[in-house]
Amino acid sequence: MRLKKGIHVRLLAGELLEVREDGFLVNVDNKEARQIQFVHTSVILRAEFAQFDGFGKQAIGAKLDVSLRDKLRVLSRFPQGLSSELLAALLSAQNQTTVENIGVK
């Protein structure tokens, strides 16, 4: 994903875990370790879903298109969504206590 933060652009790569109405929960590949992050659609300039045939690069913008959101949800790791218990277990496995939020005030 290509994200905007002020005048800066940041690249983010990882596994799409869950699709929410206002963004994506991603297991991000950092140099030091993996980290679960929530990326709000308002900071996404462009997202590339290389592992998903036919999607390629998608402009996301401030509001995620409903049809694209539904397609991506089915293709995410947890299309049914994450329960609070499962999310807590994933965070614990990665030595996190909370999800890092990007683009959420």
- Summarised one tens digit per residue, pLDDT across range 31-70 is 767 899 998 888 887 777 665 655 555 556 556 778 878 8
Q: Is the pLDDT of residue 10 over 80?
A: no
- What residue spans define the domains of the chain? 2-102
Instruction: Give the single-character DSSP code of 36.
Output: E
Return the number of other C-beta atoms located less than 10 Å from residue 34's C-beta: 17
Q: Could you give the CA distance from residue 91 to residue 86 in angstroms, rounded to a whole number?
A: 9
Give the 3-state secondary structure of residue 11. Answer: strand
The two tokens of residue 30 are: 């950092």
Q: In sequence order, what are the beta bridge partners of 58? A: 47
* Secondary structure element (H or E) that encloses residue 73, with its range: helix 66-75
Q: Could you give the CA distance from residue 10 to residue 27 in angstroms, rounded to a whole number?
A: 16
Q: Is the pLDDT of residue 6 over 80?
A: no
Q: What is residue 5's predicted lDDT score, i.e. its pLDDT?
A: 57
Give the 3-state secondary structure of residue 27. Answer: strand
